[in-house]
Amino acid sequence: MSDIRFDGRVAIVTGAGGGLGRCHALELARRGAKVVINDLGGSLDGNGGNSEAAEAVVKEIEALGGEAIANGSSVSDEAGVKKMIGDTMDKWGRIDIIIANAGILRDKSFAKMTQQDIDLVIDVHLRGSFMPIHEAWNIMKEQEYGRIVVTTSSTGLYGNFGQANYGAAKLGVVGMMNTLKIEGAKNNIKINAVCPIAATRMTEGLMSEEALAALKPEYVTPGVMNLVKDDAPSGMILSAGAGAFSMARIVETEGVFVGHGDDLSAEAVAAKWDQITDVSTTRPAFKSGGEHGQNIFAAVAKGMQG
């Protein structure tokens, strides 16, 4: 097994003042990267903020003999993000890795959720992933090198009571990834998603002490290092928690041609429902929307022949 190293690489980790982001940043630094520690330092619901959390992680990295700088901008503040990218380029002249990890929660049942609860969560998770990646995109293209991780959640992939705002934002970053893996490919930019589970302030009180003890954020980070290494995959969703890792995929059944013209009606679709939803025909995930379209036409061709 060869060592995974990041010597000479410059990484930005958002929300790196605590929890998972701090662990990712420390591990990148241990493995040779220079790291920008971004953290607004606010409360779990996104209020307040100061740069103390980011500065404390910079000190930890320096104590290990690594190099880091603190950045206290909000990931959803355009001017702050532009400054963070500018400061990184002024200091180190390149940006190789971005781990978009910053996040907040505003959990409420959908009936009680306010527009502000929706806007704030989408702002931090979705726009807050878009903005740093977008600002660094042309830099990565010119370098012909970029490794990006977005942070999704089982709530986005599968759902969770009281988290409609969070789930929408978390699947949103997967949608962004799916297109960026295509747009970045020719310039050696790879982008993946991590779906973590870890004991942090986000999950405290939600699980038993025993479960939380098994869910150290340090047990997620080794998976993330594999998503930003030189020979990283692209477009992958890696689930990671408690030292276990798996791959999540969006899959579709084979598809059934129902008919055209008079043969096609709501009732005709209902008559084929069992076949349409037959999971035993599930195929490997598509690599692009184009491939998905080809699948539809393959089902039509097969149905017309049959």
CA–CA gap between residue 181 and residue 262 (Å, rounded):
41
Greatest extent of the chain over all pairs of C-alpha atoms, in Å: 74
Is 200 near ligand NAD (CB under 6 A)? Answer: yes
CB of 114 to ligand NAD, least distance (A): 18
Number of residues located near ligand NAD, criterion CB under 6 A = 33
CB of 213 to ligand NAD, least distance (A): 14
Q: How far is CA 159 from CA 45, 89, 110, 189, 232, in A?
A: 20, 39, 12, 30, 28
Is 40 near ligand NAD (CB under 6 A)? Answer: yes
Is 197 near ligand NAD (CB under 6 A)? Answer: yes
Is 165 near ligand NAD (CB under 6 A)? Answer: no
Angle between helix 221-228 and helix 19-30 axes, rounded to 10 deg? 60
Q: Is 258 left (phi over 0), alpha (psi -120 to 50) or beta?
A: alpha
Strands 146-151 and 97-100: parallel
Under rule CB under 6 A, which residues in 52-111 are in contact with ligand NAD?
A: 53, 74-76, 101-104
Is 153 near ligand NAD (CB under 6 A)? Answer: yes
Question: Closer CB to ligand NAD, residue 73 or residue 234?
Answer: 73
φ, ψ for residue 237 (rounded to 5)? -110, 115
Is 184 near ligand NAD (CB under 6 A)? Answer: no
Question: Closer CB to ligand NAD, residue 5 or residue 134?
Answer: 134
Question: Residue 227: which of 81, 97, 45, 43 has the closest Cα?
Answer: 97
CA–CA gap between residue 7 and residue 304 (Å, rounded):
57
CB of 276 to ligand NAD, least distance (A): 31
CB of 51 to ligand NAD, least distance (A): 10
Question: Closer CB to ligand NAD, residue 95 or residue 198?
Answer: 198
Is 255 near ligand NAD (CB under 6 A)? Answer: no
Cα atoms found within 13 Å of the Cα of residue 153, Cβ hemisphere only: 25
Is 15 near ligand NAD (CB under 6 A)? Answer: yes
Question: Residue 100: which of 31, 30, 12 has the closest Cα?
Answer: 12
Is 238 near ligand NAD (CB under 6 A)? Answer: no
Catalytic residue among 145, 158, 166, 219: 166
At 255, the amino acid letter reads: G
Question: Residue 97: which of 29, 154, 41 has the closest Cα?
Answer: 29
Q: Stretches 3-11, 37-45, 248-256, 260-268: which one binds ligand NAD (CB under 6 A)? A: 37-45
Cβ burial of 151 (10 Å; 0-12, 13-18, 19+) is buried
Question: Closer CB to ligand NAD, residue 51 or residue 178?
Answer: 51
Q: How far is CA 161 from CA 79, 158, 180, 220, in A?
A: 35, 11, 30, 24
Is 51 near ligand NAD (CB under 6 A)? Answer: no
CB of 106 to ligand NAD, least distance (A): 11
CB of 96 to ligand NAD, least distance (A): 20
Told to judge if 219 belongs to the known catalytic residues of this protein, a careful annotator would answer no
φ, ψ for residue 146 (rounded to 5)? -165, 140
Q: Stretches 2-10, 11-19, 280-288, 296-304: which one binds ligand NAD (CB under 6 A)? A: 11-19
Q: Which residues are catalytic?
A: 166
Q: Point out which residues bind ligand NAD (CB under 6 A).
A: 14-15, 17-21, 38-42, 44, 46, 53, 74-76, 101-104, 124, 128, 151, 153, 196-198, 200-203
